[in-house]
Amino acid sequence: MPGQFNRSAQALRASYLAPAARRVTRGWHWWLAEIEGLLPANLRQIIETGKQRLVVAADGDDFLMQHGNAEQMEEIGRIRAAADAATAIALPDNVRQTILLLPPDSVLSRALTLPLAAEENLREVLSFEMDSQTPFTADQVYYDFFVTGRSPANKTLSLQLYVTPRGIVDDSLATLAANEIFPDVVTANAADNPQGYNINLLPANKRHSPRITLHRMNLSLATLALVLFIAALALPLVQKNRTIRSLEAEVSQATIGAQASNQLRQEVENLIAGSIYLVEKKRTEPTMTQLLDDMTRVIPDDTWVNRVDISGGEMQLQGQSGAAAGLIGLIEASSTYHNARFRSPVTQIARTSQERFHLSADTVQRPAE
């Protein structure tokens, strides 16, 4: 029962507590970066001065030394690789961190996938897995790792493992110690190390913690007080800007809504105008049924119509009749047609008493009520 409880507690920490702690840490670093961006340029310069690094990069048989911050680095000298070859180089005083960059070919990098429960004691698990995942055993190498992803659904953990033989690191540390240089970070100078100085191959017992002096502590407290004061002044402005942006977004949405409403109203007006046009057209123009009905009433029984075309306020008839000339008068006498006329000469049909005709007449427009 206790073992089951411990496994449940470890799963709870791996699934909830550890991710929550990582989010809080990222939020804290984000907040510090945002506050630092609000500081005056000269104060930011003072803070950047406190972030000076001494970077020692293995370069063939030498060590190339550079000094500066994340924005600018300056070469200050070289050290011979022999452990007993002390080089007289004036080391800078304002160094917050000393970093040793190993050659790319001296660090082995490998992507691993482990059970999510292994995150609770990940370094110990990697120590046990070292001989199966790399050509070395745990006592032959220095190693570090970086978690690249977590899959709660699959209960797996993805990470990148970095390994280097102990002899390479120990020889480099001995050479630097002869020159009174004691690195805080040992990492890979390689393109497959995107985490940079977050990967530290130096074991914990060999790391040199930076000394915190009373002067630095007072300066840090004063800086923090100034940051909080500036934050108190800037907070109302930030809130006002957020309110303005929120109102601008609401106005933009209202404008879009008004434009959509105008467009809808225009479409409704167009539909109304179209329906009115159809109603007026029906009132002023006779229907097709009325035109055909009147035509059948005025055409005599001895007349045959082969084709009827009604369009554009005009009717055309083609056919044959016993008295084609009389059709003009009959059509003119109707209340639906006027201006009857032949479109082509009347011709006699051979060996019959019928005449072939082609005539047209305009439809009568009714007055609008």
pLDDT digits (tens, 9 = 90+) for 26-57: 666 566 666 666 666 665 555 555 567 788 88
Model confidence band, residue 215 (pLDDT cutoffs 50, 70, 90) = low
Rama region for 106: left / alpha / beta (φ>0; ψ in -120 to 50; rest): alpha
CB of 341 closer than 8 Å to CB of 360: yes
pLDDT at 192: 53
Whole-number average pLDDT of the chain: 77
Spans of all domains in the chain: 1-38, 52-210, 214-284, 288-363
Question: Percent of the chain beyond pLDDT 70?
Answer: 72
CA distance 335 to 360: 15
Residue with tokens 């709870």: 12
151, amino acid identity: S
Taking alpha carbons only, the member of 308, 285, 286 closest to residue 296 is 308
CA distance 47 to 224: 11
| Tokens read off for 64 | 């190339």
Interaxial angle between packed helices 18-37 and 214-284, expressed in degrees from 0 to 180 and rounded to the nearest 10: 90
Question: What is the total residue count of the chain?
Answer: 369
The DSSP call for residue 102 is E
CATH number corresponding to 288-363? 3.30.1360
**pTM greater than the 0.85 cutoff:** no
Phi, psi of 78 (to 5 degrees): -130, 155
What element of type H or E holds 122? helix 122-133
Phi, psi of 10 (to 5 degrees): -65, -40
CA distance 307 to 316: 8
CA distance 16 to 60: 46
Q: In angstroms, what CA-CA distances link 2 with 9, 12, 117, 241, 318?
A: 10, 15, 17, 55, 108
pLDDT at 28: 61
- Say whether pLDDT at 3 is over 70: no
- Ranking 62-71, 94-103, 188-197, 301-310 by mean pLDDT, the lowest is 188-197
CATH number corresponding to 52-210? 3.30.420.380
